Amino acid sequence: MSRTDSRELLRGTLRTIVLKLLAENRRMYGYEITQQVKERTGGTITLTYGALYPVLHKLEEEGCLLTETEAVDGRLRKYYSLTPAGTATAQVKVAEFERFMAAMQALMQAGPGIANQKH
Amino acid sequence: MYLLTDHQLDTLRSHLRQSAISPDLLPELTDHLACDLEEAMWAGMSFDEALPKILKEASLDTLSQLQEDYCSILGLEPESEPATLRDIVFMNRNKLYGAYDLREHYTVATEQALLWGIVIFSVTVMALGLHVSRQVQRERSKTPVRSIYNQPIFPQKTGSLAIKPG
């Protein structure tokens, strides 16, 4: 898959990924999120900071995330955690995405299946 | 884990400051790139090798693209207009608690206040005028028509007041 294609696919799911990761970990900072996505997908998906931070800030604005800023190693680090509303949104989004994946899987497998049934 | 020195962090910061990245995003991006640098250096690169590699990825073009995406996702107006004094005063400050809004809408608020002031004042004056003139009319109609205007105020006694010469 080319880089631009995977970016297109990622765009719609980025919020779900962020919410899911934050639901599993109490609090994370941006770099940690990109590293964990990279590790868990074996490098297939790499989040760029260009894509990640706008989404984080948007979620914060919508009241899904709380932030704490701490001075770490001579610079500021911003930690994100879910608000109760964010936790609820995370559950909804993940469930939604699982349904979507099941549907996509069915769709992808349906082609040859239908062709076989006809004959 | 390798830690960047303050001087190395300053080098990174001065690059980021050249870009159009908004102050909301700057500290996080600094931290992110610093983490990238530290990882590269932990893997065995020297700072002088790692920095150009990281900065190539985060070129000024990339950063300005990031800033544009950031604005469009958050529904902010891209800062194409020149910064006003107000923007300068509120740079790096909390714009949400009200003062920024107050200043931003100052002109409109003043004009509206002036307009309403004029309207309310003239309505009050007109209403008072109307009330007074009605009251006067009522009082006039109450008093019997023994109008004082028909009687001379100074009944003239022509004889006594006549100036006699010499």
Query: 0.80 exceeded by the pTM?
Result: no
Q: Tell me whether residues B31 and A75 touch, CB distance under 8 A.
A: yes
Tell me the domains of chain A and their CATH numbers: 3-109 (1.10.10.10)
Average pLDDT of chain B is: 81
Which of B27, B69, B73 faces A78 most closely, judged by CB atoms? B27
ipTM over 0.90: no
Region A8-23: mean pLDDT is: 87
Residue of A nearest to B8 (CA): A74
The token pair that represents A47 in the structure block: 């989040």
Helix ranges (DSSP H) in chain A: 3-24, 30-40, 49-61, 84-118
A3 touches chain B (CB under 8 A): no
| N-to-C CA span, chain B | 130
Distance CA A99, CA B79 (A): 40
> For chain B, where are the E strands, in sequence order?
none
B142 or A24: which leads in pLDDT: A24
Residue A3 has pLDDT above 60, yes or no: no
Region A11-23: mean pLDDT is: 90
- Can you give the residue ranges of every domain in chain B? 6-90, 105-142
Which of B30, B35, B73 faces A54 most closely, judged by CB atoms? B73
A54-110: per-residue pLDDT in tens?
889 989 989 999 999 988 888 889 999 999 999 999 999 999 999 999 999 999 886
